[in-house]
Amino acid sequence: MSDATSPRHIPDRLQSNAARLLKSWEVLLLGVAILIFIANSFASPYFLNAWNLSDATFNFTEKAMIAFAMALLIISGEIDLSVASIIALASTAMGAAAQVGAGTTELVLIGLVVGLAAGAFNGVLVTVMGLPSIVVTIGTMSLFRGISYIILGDGAYRGYPSDFAFFGQGYVWWVFSFEFLLFAVLAVIYYVVLHRTNFGRTIYTIGNNATAASFSGIRVARVKFILFLLTGLMAGVAAICLTSRLGSTRPSIGFGWELEVVTMVVLGGVSILGGSGTIPGVVIAAFVMGLVTFGLGLLNVPGIVMSIFIGAMLIGVIALPRLWDMWRRS
């Protein structure tokens, strides 16, 4: 009897899984990415050039590196709005070191250490002192960039070592840049951490109910502190790549990136309230935003219009998941 009935259940399960996949936010977002790609190919004759497509990746790789860590932080129920200012602070520290003859290895270490220190500072204020992360990071957003303005004023740091340029301008093979390779490697790492480890499951548990997680023996404060460290570290990595690509440091470097990073995370399906989201969704959202901004750039759309579009997208993607969930439940 079991042999006769078992074949009937397997197709049902397969059909159910396929239906869930087709209704997933990631599949919808992938469809949007494909449509944007097709639209850009018609809008500009230069879009399909391999080197132009390679240049398009610079519009999102540095921001996506931060977005991976930000996704984990938001899933846990916290947020860091100081990431762009951490970039400015880390870049300023690297620039100051370069002026006194620091080599590439020293500059990279300085960028990573400053990022970690800034993340630790945010983490202590939130997890030890119990302050709201949105208030803390709005404060440190002004604090970190303000330090850069005090040091640099209207000036700029230049004169970085020639081999330092590889991180933001170098190519590993053909049109594939070092930044894009680093983005791909980090995507795999964060996917494994969030979706294939106990630490990732702990993040989801905390985001859904931090109090219940605490009573179940999870050290909530320690996990959140680690996530703030990761976010600061990724901001330091982005600072290294961005400074290397630009070849100079100004206090306005990375200005406004916190908005784009949060938009990328939320567009990827991560709930702004915490508890849900995926790394593949963030990866696809990174491509969507990169394709949109690059396509608008090819059409000579002013930067202020792009900023308006990003702001409107953030509002839209906060509302869309709610509408999407309502439609799925119906």
- Which residues sit opposite 157 in a β-bridge? 249
Using a CB cutoff of 8 Å and minimum separation of 24, what contacts does 2-5 make?
Answer: none
HSE, side-chain direction, 13 A CA sphere, residue 271? 14
Per-residue pLDDT tens digits for 139-181: 999 999 999 999 998 889 998 999 999 999 989 988 899 999 9
Per-residue pLDDT tens digits for 32-77: 889 888 888 887 777 888 888 888 888 899 999 999 999 999 999 9
**Bigger pLDDT: 3 vs 294:** 294
Q: Tell me the range of 34-38, 149-153, 236-240, 274-278 where mean pLDDT is highest.
A: 236-240
Whole-angstrom CA distances from 325 to 15, 143, 321 are 20, 38, 6
CA distance 191 to 245: 27
Using DSSP's 3-state secondary structure scheme, residue 32 falls into helix
Q: Tell me the range of 15-29, 35-49, 255-269 where mean pLDDT is highest.
A: 255-269
Domains of the chain: 47-329 (1.10.3470)
Q: Is the pLDDT of residue 15 over 70?
A: no
Q: In terms of C-beta density within 10 A (0-12 exposed, 13-18 middle, 19 or more buried), how is residue 215 classed?
A: exposed
Instruction: Tell the residue number behind the tokens 């020639």, with chain if given.
Output: 162
Record the pTM: 0.88
Q: Read off the pLDDT band of 8 (50, 70, 90).
A: very low
